[in-house]
Structure 1
Amino acid sequence: MRRKPFIALLMAASLTMGVPAAYAKEAPTLPSQAQQALDNKIIKKINSDNIYDDIAHLSSEPRIAGTEAEWEAVQYIESKFSSYGYQTEIQPFTFESYQEPTISVRIGDKPLASSSLTYTPNGEATGELVYAGLATEADLADVDVSGKIALVKRGDISFADKVLNAAQAGATAVIIYNNVPGSLAGTLGAPNDDFVPAVSITQEEGEKLVSTLAEGQAISATVNITGGGISQQTSHNVIAVKEPTQKNKATDQIVVVGAHHDSVPGSPGANDDASGVATSLELARVLANMPTDTEIRFVTFGAEELGLLGSYAYVDSLSQDERDRIVGMFQMDMVGSRDAGELVMFTVDGEKNTVTDLSAAAGVRTGTALTYGQEGRSDHVPFHYAGIPAALFIHNPLEPWYHTPEDSLDKISKEKLQETAEIVGAAVYQIARPDTPALEKSKVSPKPVDYEKMAGGLQ
């Protein structure tokens, strides 16, 4: 997940009732018992074992964008959608890929285990190591890093901003250490001539260095990065379409369900985001033969981990008519970890919309009270900027295995998969079923939530 920093909502509110003017002309909601009966047409068909099995297949190896492993995942996903009777398309798009470099970090004369950050430039720097906090502009105003190597803690701002801030202050290289246990795999988002060489290290190693510096001991460090570079690559989106079955009553509206099928280097990506893809596949199976008056599109995106490239490519390919017809986009990203927190909905602007309201109502009916907050950095973002109501479904705080080799099948919770599938499935079907208008207002709106941060940050 990429792009915008998390911004906490500092609001307190309760469940709200009533219908705003925008929904005043819509038909009244069905009685709760009738709604639950319609939900059950979807819920009773959802099988978390199917979701789990698809995660097992997809997470057998990392699915880095542009690689053969990602292409094999694309073919698997398309074949599953096709087997359910959907019209399918594999949509290619090109992007610039970063060739992983050879890196070396030494503290004095001792090597230090480290990882590269995608798009870090090649180069070698030797100098005094200086602790620069989070490398915000305020942090760097209080420390002299000119001609030195900046030691920086992960969190609050993007890796790219940390490196750019340190470089602007005169640092010759940047070492970023994790703020949670374990190694750190990250990206600077895109090439930038203003970057200096940057690497990552574990929380344990970083805190040792901070402690040594705090004791007044001087540390000399060397960062050497060679062999990195940019090449042209191809990734793909998978699109599956279910046309309305009630042709004579079709609404001419579209609902989109999304997830991303790529993963970061070194991670099998069982939760991030094989869980979202597998849940989409199960909902596609369940909805395949249901009566609908609304077009449903399931889309799995490539190269999300490189900056939402697939979802931007998909939205860019939509005509203005299609954009106007999409009434909601449901993005499922990391929806199955046993070690993560509660299911939360996030919108780019932190405001409620059709997706959050209908999903909150579905959550009440299925026994899960949902909250919402403000967060970008997943594939709901391009839809938002195209004027389409969109929300990200994710568990918060994140699991400690995020973006690590430990994001594996054994960490997946079938209960969390079932919960997410039921809520999204019920909300999508409330839009798509023939007996209700697509923009029907829910009687229950979600509560805003105050989270200080996504655990570890979605960097």
Structure 2
Amino acid sequence: MFRRKSIITILAASMVLSGGAVYAQTNGAPNGQSATAFDNKIIKKISADNMYNNIALLSEQPREAGTEGEVRAVKYIEGQFKSLGFETKVLPFPIYDYRTNHVWVKIGGADITGTAPRAFSGSVSGKVTKQLVNVGKAKPEEIGDEVKGKIALVERGDITFIEKVQNVLNRGAVGVLMYNNSSNGNAFGQAQEGQNIPAVAITQTQGLELVGKLKSGPVEVTLDVDIEKIEKTSYVVEAKLKPNKNKDTGQIVTVGAHHDSVRGGPGANDDASGVSAVLELARIFAKAPIDTEVRFLTFGSEERGLVGSSFYASQLPKSDVNRMVAHFQMDMIGGRDAGADNPAGGLIMYTIDGKKNLVTDLGAAAGLRTMDVAIPYGQLGRSDHQPFHELGIPSALFIHSPVEPWYHQPTDTLDKISKEKLQQAAEIVGSSVYQIARPDTPALENARVAPGTVDYDFEDRPVD
């Protein structure tokens, strides 16, 4: 693991510029090193029992996108927001299931050996026979012009499936053959509407065999995919908490989690835990004085490739985007067995570009105040902070990493949830959001009592 070391310091200047935002010395707490009275307006009211009870209800059945399980969760979440008096909206969007009639992969005219190949969710039907080109993990810098008119051999990992398909499509590829980056079979892959090339998943062993063959010369591959497309509906739940018009700074801060689970999985930690914290913070902020609009969001179809959050971001008016100053995403924040032996139970803040921003600045400072640990940051996509980052909004994912062995399994159940970790993450996110939304920090740059910034580490920590 690579780690840039730094010494935790509280900047004692009366006004400090960091991550594009200005903070001031804490009023009433020496050097800002302990939870302030302002923090306590939020964190003392957070109930891990409430969160645990919400996880229990949400994880009674799987919540796969487009199923009755998701609809049940959406109705419950919306009902909770409505009971708090929020301006609430459920936003439907289309998703697609696919019935596969056949998926054939031939190497030099012979069927691929071993595990039967699988089509990506969202792959189109089609048959192509072309030379294979190895493009690594299909990051833009790895893809040359030689992939034009060819089939791209891609390794899973680092960026989303949809990005990989789009990157090779942009360079003129006519098919995608992706192999796993672990020994966990080939049940993976997502393409999106408009990515009109066949995309097929194979095992790590099969992929590495092809990598070896390509070193010896050209390899001709046939992809033959026959799929029927079935439209379903998934949802985003949005709840707006608006400040008094006389105090409104015009800014918006968003707090999100995804409410869907994988097929057959109860998803207690992934991500009923994040949803439970969104609901709990909504309950507390409903009675807190604020000068900033706070939006509480839960997204469907995260497990299909961030489809719900991407949809939400795409339909936002430009005027809203221009007012959004931060997005806090919570995903898998209650895993008893997550985090390994890392400090703070393994809690880390991931950004898309691996750079600090307003969200990580606030999160690190809140961690130091609430639990004497400046939470580290790292670089990772794979969750719903990504579409907000792409809109230019400072964003970060809060998660305990590395994830637990029950990740994406039917054993991701309530008994694996830690109330202590739920409390920890909710306190840090709640305190951070309140630094923006509380009335004595108007528009942040005019803040007089916000805690000082802290130095905090970058960690190159894999999530799984």
**Bigger mean CA offset, 264-273 vs 77-86:** 264-273
Which residue is equivalent to 2:38? Answer: 38
CA–CA distance in 2 between the matches of 1:448 and 1:71? 40
Structure 2 SS opposite 1:249:
coil
Structure 2 SS opposite 1:187:
coil
C-alpha distance after superposition, 1:302-339 (max 9, x if no partner): 23333433323333443333333322211112212223
Residue type at the aligned position of 2:369 = R
**Bigger mean CA offset, 383-392 vs 107-116:** 107-116
CA–CA distance in 1 between the matches of 2:358 and 2:112? 59
Q: Is the 2:3–2:458 Cα contact (8 Å) retained in structure 1?
A: yes
Instruction: Describe the shift of the 1:432–1:382 C-alpha distance in structure 2 as closer, same or farther (beyond 3 A).
Output: same
Residue type at the aligned position of 1:353 = N
| Unaligned runs of at least 5 residues, structure 2 | 214-220, 340-345
Which residue is equivalent to 2:157? Answer: 155
CA–CA distance in 2 between the matches of 1:444 and 1:162? 37
CA–CA distance in 2 between the matches of 1:228 and 1:262? 23
CA–CA distance in 2 between the matches of 1:158 and 1:100? 23
One of 382, 386, 389 as aligned partner of 1:384: 389
Residue type at the aligned position of 1:408 = T
One of 317, 322, 325 as aligned partner of 2:323: 325
Instruction: Describe the shift of the 1:392–1:208 C-alpha distance in structure 2 as closer, same or farther (beyond 3 A).
Output: closer
Instruction: Describe the shift of the 1:14–1:103 C-alpha distance in structure 2 as closer, same or farther (beyond 3 A).
Output: farther
One of 423, 427, 437 as aligned partner of 1:432: 437
CA–CA distance in 2 between the matches of 1:56 and 1:222? 47
Residue type at the aligned position of 1:308 = L
Instruction: Describe the shift of the 1:58–1:222 C-alpha distance in structure 2 as closer, same or farther (beyond 3 A).
Output: farther
Alignment of 1:36-435 (within 5 A): 36-92=36-92, 94-101=93-100, 112=115, 116-122=119-125, 154-156=156-158, 158-159=160-161, 174=177, 176-177=179-180, 179=182, 184-190=187-193, 192-193=195-196, 195-196=197-198, 198-201=200-203, 226-229=226-229, 231-244=230-243, 247-341=245-339, 342-367=346-371, 368-435=373-440
Measure how far apart 1:47 and its partner are.
Answer: 1.7
Measure how far apart 1:115 and its partner are.
Answer: 5.5
**Bigger mean CA offset, 107-116 vs 405-414:** 107-116
Which residue is equivalent to 1:216? Answer: none
Instruction: Describe the shift of the 1:170–1:359 C-alpha distance in structure 2 as closer, same or farther (beyond 3 A).
Output: closer
**Bigger mean CA offset, 107-116 vs 333-342:** 107-116
C-alpha distance after superposition, 1:242-299 (max 9, x if no partner): 222x554333332211112123334333222221111101111122212223222111
Q: Is the 1:140–1:169 Cα contact (8 Å) retained in structure 2?
A: no
Which residue is equivalent to 1:14? Answer: 7
**Bigger mean CA offset, 257-266 vs 413-422:** 257-266
2:453 aligned with 1:444 = yes
Measure how far apart 1:196 and its partner are.
Answer: 4.2
CA–CA distance in 1 between the matches of 2:314 and 2:137? 34
CA–CA distance in 1 between the matches of 2:23 and 2:112? 71
Q: Is the 1:270–1:408 Cα contact (8 Å) retained in structure 2?
A: yes
| Unaligned runs of at least 5 residues, structure 1 | 1-7, 214-220
Instruction: Describe the shift of the 1:191–1:55 C-alpha distance in structure 2 as closer, same or farther (beyond 3 A).
Output: farther
CA–CA distance in 2 between the matches of 1:163 and 1:85? 43
Instruction: Describe the shift of the 1:200–1:75 C-alpha distance in structure 2 as closer, same or farther (beyond 3 A).
Output: farther
**Bigger mean CA offset, 296-305 vs 109-118:** 109-118
C-alpha distance after superposition, 1:102-153 (max 9, x if no partner): 5678998998477553123446899xxx9x8966699999xxxx99997x76
Residue type at the aligned position of 1:346 = Y
Measure how far apart 1:366 and its partner are.
Answer: 1.2
Q: TM-score, normalised by structure 2?
A: 0.75
CA–CA distance in 2 between the matches of 1:285 and 1:247? 21
One of 451, 454, 459 as aligned partner of 2:463: 454
Structure 1 SS opposite 2:120:
strand
Instruction: Describe the shift of the 1:13–1:102 C-alpha distance in structure 2 as closer, same or farther (beyond 3 A).
Output: farther
Q: TM-score, normalised by structure 1?
A: 0.76
Structure 1 SS opposite 2:398:
strand
C-alpha distance after superposition, 1:86-112 (max 9, x if no partner): 2211123x3351314256789989984
Instruction: Describe the shift of the 1:24–1:99 C-alpha distance in structure 2 as closer, same or farther (beyond 3 A).
Output: closer
Measure how far apart 1:163 and its partner are.
Answer: 7.3
Structure 1 SS opposite 2:36:
helix
Q: Is the 1:124–1:222 Cα contact (8 Å) retained in structure 2?
A: yes
Instruction: Describe the shift of the 1:63–1:183 C-alpha distance in structure 2 as closer, same or farther (beyond 3 A).
Output: farther
**Bigger mean CA offset, 308-317 vs 161-170:** 161-170
CA–CA distance in 1 between the matches of 2:319 and 2:176? 48
Measure how far apart 1:45 and its partner are.
Answer: 1.9
CA–CA distance in 2 between the matches of 1:182 and 1:70? 27
C-alpha distance after superposition, 1:44-98 (max 9, x if no partner): 2222222122222222333233333222211110001112222211123x33513
Structure 2 SS opposite 1:98:
strand
Q: Is the 1:124–1:197 Cα contact (8 Å) retained in structure 2?
A: no
Structure 2 SS opposite 1:445:
coil
Instruction: Describe the shift of the 1:290–1:282 C-alpha distance in structure 2 as closer, same or farther (beyond 3 A).
Output: same
Equivalent residue pairs, number: 435
Instruction: Describe the shift of the 1:438–1:395 C-alpha distance in structure 2 as closer, same or farther (beyond 3 A).
Output: farther
Residue type at the aligned position of 2:8 = L
Instruction: Describe the shift of the 1:369–1:111 C-alpha distance in structure 2 as closer, same or farther (beyond 3 A).
Output: same
CA–CA distance in 1 between the matches of 2:184 and 2:114? 20
**Bigger mean CA offset, 420-429 vs 324-333:** 324-333
Q: Is the 1:261–1:302 Cα contact (8 Å) retained in structure 2?
A: yes
CA–CA distance in 1 between the matches of 2:42 and 2:426? 9
Measure how far apart 1:197 and its partner are.
Answer: 5.2
Structure 2 SS opposite 1:407:
coil
Structure 2 SS opposite 1:64:
coil
Instruction: Describe the shift of the 1:115–1:389 C-alpha distance in structure 2 as closer, same or farther (beyond 3 A).
Output: same
